[in-house]
Amino acid sequence: MKASPRIAIVAGEASGDQLASHLIAALKARLPGARFFGIGGPKMQSHGFEAWWPMEKLAVMGYVEVLKRYREIAAIRRALKARLLQDQPDIFIGVDAPDFNLGLEADLKARGITTLHYVSPSIWAWRGERIHKIARAVHRVLALFPMEPPLYEKAGVPVTYVGHPLADQIPLHTDKRAVRAKLNLPLEGPIYALLPGSRQSELEYLADTFVETARRIHAEQPQAVFLVPLATRETRLRFETAIYRCQVAHLPFRLLFGHAQDAMGAADVVLVASGTATLEAALVKRPMVITYKLARASYRIMKRKAYLPYVGLPNVLAGRFLVPELLQEDATPDNLAQALMNLEGDKRIAAHLEKAFTALHLQLRQNTAEKAAAAVIACLPT
């Protein structure tokens, strides 16, 4: 193995940026001379990652939404592929973003570059046939969830279960009052965390709905406070625009740059767009309502391909509906507000969810960054 390996990484959204940043830190501890480059976000860059394109270029969800930006995304992938083939890295790691990464990984693998995919695509939920494409594209999958390795082993795909890094980072108990004091919030009274997603395309569909939901809650609970952590300047601008468009600038919104875990920890209930943030809310042990909206055509296609009756990670991992999901046409401000207020103050439900979420937390706590780094190092050419 080279003393200074060159490691290419592509992460396409905020959750991938977070995963990759922890992996880079663990790899640098073992391989201090390693160089990291590709496509990534600010957390990766804080560890010395060289971003050739900004991560935000890839942060699009849904068939229709991707089609709108297909030419731009395809051009980036062609340029990236050409650059990687011209000056080949020792290993390529695609972090999630399967629609972008798997095709790229297949081309690189065919040219003799070792490829890993970190985060299994959700083949257990929909489009299970992708496992054959994954097998052609990668030398190994690093899986975050315990139900994934058996699927790959059955298909003959090398796989390593590494757990989820959020389970390592988030404490088993988050003190609500301590977090409220840290954020200079009232120690009593209802506080709601609103997490409308990390992609601009998610805010396009959800920002107004979240703002109108807050309006309805405030009408019933005038003392309520609404914490809104936003991942980027672009998503913050979209949410601020929704506030003014809906003419609710008088409502007690607290917009935060990042600090999603603090927002959840301070909250009584969380309204969260389906994705990694739902797992984060579960690990913080907060009751939640999961929601999502896409273009109608995208939603119809995804629903037809789905295997499970739920989409939120806490429900998927539990194998049952632990928390409510209100999606697409059901995700109206009236429905969301009512579901959130039903959970707020219900100590019996809160205790039940804390027990279930703690069991999930312990299952996912695997010292993920170290396991993932060890798997990467084992795959580096000698």
Residue 321 has pLDDT above 80, yes or no: yes
More confident site: 293 or 63: 293
Q: What pLDDT does 310 receive? A: 81
Looking at the fold, whether 371 and 356 belong to one and the same domain comes out as no
Least confident range of 126-135, 287-296, 350-359: 126-135
- For the beta sheet containing 325-327, the strands, ordered from the edge strand earlier in sequence to the opposite edge, are 253-257, 225-230, 191-195, 269-273, 288-292, 325-327
Looking at the fold, whether 221 and 309 belong to one and the same domain comes out as yes
Q: What pLDDT does 276 receive? A: 86
**What CATH number corresponds to the domain at position 228?**
3.40.50.2000
Residue 64 has pLDDT above 60, yes or no: no
- For the beta sheet containing 6-11, the strands, ordered from the edge strand earlier in sequence to the opposite edge, are 50-54, 35-40, 6-11, 91-95, 114-118, 140-143, 159-161
Looking at the fold, whether 209 and 315 belong to one and the same domain comes out as yes
Least confident range of 40-44, 300-304, 338-342: 300-304
Phi, psi of 306 (to 5 degrees): -75, 145
Helices (H), 46-111: 63-68, 70-86, 98-110
Mean pLDDT of 155-170: 95
Phi, psi of 46 (to 5 degrees): -65, -15
Q: Tell me, what amino acid is at 81? A: K
Looking at the fold, whether 370 and 355 belong to one and the same domain comes out as no
**Contact assessment for residue 75 and residue 366, using Cβ atoms and an 8 Å cutoff:** no
Hey, which bits of the chain come out as E strands? 6-11, 35-40, 50-54, 91-95, 114-118, 140-143, 159-161, 191-195, 225-230, 253-257, 269-273, 288-292, 325-327
% residues pLDDT > 70 (the chain): 92
CB atoms within 10 A of CB 370: 17
Q: What pLDDT does 67 receive? A: 52
Q: How far apart are CA 247 and CA 249, in angstroms?
A: 6
Residue 68 has pLDDT above 70, yes or no: no
Q: How far apart are CA 117 and CA 381, in angstroms?
A: 17
What pLDDT band is residue 63 in, cutting at 50, 70 and 90?
very low
Q: What pLDDT does 294 receive? A: 79
> Is there a domain that residue 247 lies in?
yes
Token digits for 143? 């899986």
Q: What pLDDT does 285 receive? A: 98
Residue 178 has pLDDT above 70, yes or no: yes
Mean pLDDT of 317-337: 94
> Is there a domain that residue 111 lies in?
yes
> Is there a domain that residue 141 lies in?
yes
Q: What's the gap between Cα 189 and its chain centre?
A: 29
Looking at the fold, whether 124 and 217 belong to one and the same domain comes out as no
> Is there a domain that residue 104 lies in?
yes
Mean pLDDT of 244-270: 95
Token digits for 367? 């010292």
What pLDDT band is residue 157 in, cutting at 50, 70 and 90?
very high
Asked whether the CA dihedral 57, 58, 59, 60 is positive or negative, the reply is positive
Q: Note the maximum CA span of the chain.
A: 65
Q: What pLDDT does 69 receive? A: 63
Interval 106-115: pLDDT, tens = 999 999 999 9
- Domains in the chain: how many in total? 2
Q: How far apart are CA 187 and CA 223, in angstroms?
A: 12
Looking at the fold, whether 157 and 209 belong to one and the same domain comes out as no
Q: How far apart are CA 243 and CA 251, in angstroms?
A: 9
Question: Tokens 């969301």 belong to which residue?
Answer: 336
Residue 59 has pLDDT above 70, yes or no: no
What pLDDT band is residue 146 in, cutting at 50, 70 and 90?
very high
% residues pLDDT > 90 (the chain): 74
Q: Which of 273, 295, 70, 261 is closest to 175 using CA atoms?
A: 261
Mean pLDDT of 247-260: 94
> Is there a domain that residue 16 lies in?
yes
Interval 289-306: pLDDT, tens = 999 987 777 667 667 666
Looking at the fold, whether 105 and 240 belong to one and the same domain comes out as no
> Is there a domain that residue 300 lies in?
yes
For residue 189, give its domain range. Answer: 172-364
Looking at the fold, whether 54 and 70 belong to one and the same domain comes out as yes
Q: What pLDDT does 62 receive? A: 47
Residue 139 has pLDDT above 90, yes or no: yes
Mean pLDDT of 226-240: 92
Looking at the fold, whether 203 and 303 belong to one and the same domain comes out as yes
Looking at the fold, whether 185 and 333 belong to one and the same domain comes out as yes
Residue 308 has pLDDT above 70, yes or no: no
> Is there a domain that residue 54 lies in?
yes
Residue 355 has pLDDT above 60, yes or no: yes
Looking at the fold, whether 207 and 347 belong to one and the same domain comes out as yes
Question: Tokens 């995208």 belong to which residue?
Answer: 298
> Is there a domain that residue 1 lies in?
no
Mean of the per-residue pLDDT values of the chain:
91
**Contact assessment for residue 162 and residue 364, using Cβ atoms and an 8 Å cutoff:** no
Looking at the fold, whether 294 and 262 belong to one and the same domain comes out as yes
